[in-house]
A and B are shown apart, each in its own frame.
Chain A
């Protein structure tokens, strides 16, 4: 009897919901949400399918051979992967310490009145279109960097250390690309570090203050360790952005698929190789190889971003719970 009344009440509930259109609305909104998910799977399926020609021709050899020659039909992605990874690591080396320092300043030292405008200015760096960074790099930063830094350095230090060897021609190269990327990912790292440091419980700070710690010691021994996972997550997110950045890298890196021992020499990244060659790819194999490269790039950024999300999520969860 009880089961019967339950089923009848269930039925009337379903009826009621259908009548009022709630079911329909639920299904429609779910469909749109599923559509968003399917966008992601469409991207994976399309790049997987589109790259089949190159995957069959080169297999995993694509990842570690370094000849990129559209004329002879040889495609190896190693120079592009090398350029992507090295320029992003250079970017991270500059942006990570700066970003954390900015977060510390804005969270603890900055006068209240200045927090909003300064924080906004740092975040606005992320909003500037990347093509504008590229233009600024070409017309302003590269001439400056070539004349005052890379040329003198390559003539002195570069004689002994091949990492900084010349000749510096136009000035486009890996190192410049790394610096421009650093400016672009700085806001990401700063903003996330700021957020995770803000959830450090006051008791942590107070404990150290009670022991007579200086302000820096509180930051160094209470805030930074507590927020460490989140800060690393922010850095990984910045790394993900740098890995996938296209326009600024394309414009300042020199677009030469080569691996040079010197950071001042032109190179290429996966994204810039795709952007510069896909629109006028001569053969089906070349476009297929470029799509394969896009798939590889997607997988690399996916790994970096997944690690980042996990770290940030862990800190903000435990931070609020504590």
Chain B
């Protein structure tokens, strides 16, 4: 830097500030990656150890203090999660996709602005507030905690994700495709359902998958609606167990065995959620290189 000496102290100071700040941005990025690595590493370390055939195929077994038996598993939570999230997926998918079609395929007016705003508000809604709503609407009325109440709460969290991705992805379908279909005499609904939607199918599926990942890991609304249950049950109208709920409850237990099972449940959740997110990101980036 021969220039620097000739240009004096002021320039050197500017170069120095430049270096320091740019280094700080590197440090900041590294700092934020560290928790991710630490969390994934720790969940994997603790979780893989507790996964076994028993863990996946047996249900809760009462624990006497001081015993070291690792009996019991989380089958009831896996079944509960699958039923609750499955039911909410069945409800949220058509609602989300149809609302997305309305926003993308019909001209924008003040109605669609209002709808878009509401979707935004819904997507930023604290999940516990949604849970409280389902609690008042369903749990208080039926006087029973139930899997259905949990599903309804999850629907509210999933719909905005599906609606927004559907809208965005439908907008990417070239106008020429619609014009071609209309030129062949297809009415708009046929154009939308048989031409536009299939072209955007992978994108729409992405939205549904992301919504599924969000719902699978959601705990707070289930806490006040599904409550938890130590027995294997297929009854969606009674209290159930779910993986994130079990992870929370077992963490608060004083028994080492249950803490270990909580990590196993957390590991399953992290694998599902991160798996879906990584897959979605890689495939969508590959399709639309920037």
**Which residues does A use to contact B, with CB under 8 Å?**
17, 20-22, 24-26, 28-30, 32-37, 39-40, 42-43, 46-47, 49-50, 97-99, 101-102, 104-106, 109-110, 116, 118, 120-125, 127-136, 138-140, 183, 186, 190, 214-217, 219-220, 237, 240-241, 243-247, 250-251, 271, 274-275, 278-279, 287, 290-291, 294, 297-298, 301-302, 305-306, 309
Contacts and interface: CB of A to CB of B under 8 A. Distances in A.
Sort chain B's interface into a size bin.
35 or more
Contacts of A98: 28, 31-32
A23 B96 CA distance: 20
B33 interface: yes
A290 B132 contact: yes
B99 interface: yes
A24 B190 CA distance: 12
B128 A297 contact: yes
Contacts of A124: 36, 274, 277-278
Interface in B132-189: 132-133, 135-137, 140, 145, 156, 159-160, 163, 187-189
B31 A294 contact: no
A140 B24 CA distance: 26
A37 B115 contact: yes
A135 B18 contact: no
Contact of B39 (A39, A133, A275): A133
B82 interface: no
A43 B125 contact: yes
Contact of B103 (A33, A125, A278): A33
B98 interface: yes
A294 B21 contact: no
Interface stretch (B52-60, B66-74, B230-238, B244-252): B244-252
B205 interface: no
Given A122-B32, A123-B277, A216-B22, 7 more contacts: A29-B102, A33-B115, A39-B122, A46-B136, A134-B251, A246-B220, A279-B227
A25 B126 contact: no
A275 B131 CA distance: 9
A237 B124 contact: yes
A45 B42 CA distance: 43
Q: Return the 8 tightest CB-CB contacts between A and B, nearest first.
A: A244-B126, A129-B217, A25-B189, A101-B28, A20-B187, A32-B98, A246-B220, A105-B25
Given A35-B95, A39-B156, A274 B28 contact: no
Interface in B219-269: 219-220, 223-224, 227, 244, 247-248, 251-252, 259, 262-263, 266, 269
Interface in B1-46: 14-15, 17-18, 21-22, 24-29, 31-33, 35-36, 38-39, 42-43
A50 B216 CA distance: 28
Contacts of A105: 25-26, 28-29
Contacts, number: 264
Given A37-B118, A216-B17, A129 B218 contact: yes
Given A98-B32, A127-B274, A244 B14 contact: no
B227 A240 contact: no
B125 to A, nearest CB: 7
Given A131-B217, A297-B126, A278 B224 contact: yes
B287 interface: no
B114 A37 contact: yes
Question: What secondary structure prevails in chain B residues at the interface with A?
Answer: helix
A97 B25 CA distance: 10
Interface string B197-230: 0000000000000000100111110011001000
A46 B126 contact: no
Given A22-B187, A122-B29, A275-B220, A43 B130 contact: yes
B33 A251 contact: no
A271 B224 CA distance: 11
A160 B238 CA distance: 54
A40 B220 CA distance: 18
Contacts of A274: 128, 132, 224
9 contacts: A35-B99, A40-B118, A42-B137, A98-B32, A120-B281, A129-B216, A135-B262, A290-B132, A306-B121
A132 B114 CA distance: 35
Contacts of B218: 129
A130 B217 contact: yes
Contact of B224 (A29, A131, A140, A275): A275
Given A32-B98, A101-B24, A132 B281 contact: no
A22 to B, nearest CB: 5
A112 B138 CA distance: 51
Interface in B88-119: 94-96, 98-99, 101-103, 105-106, 111-112, 114-115, 117-119
Contacts of A40: 118, 121-122, 125
A176 B159 CA distance: 33
B273 interface: yes
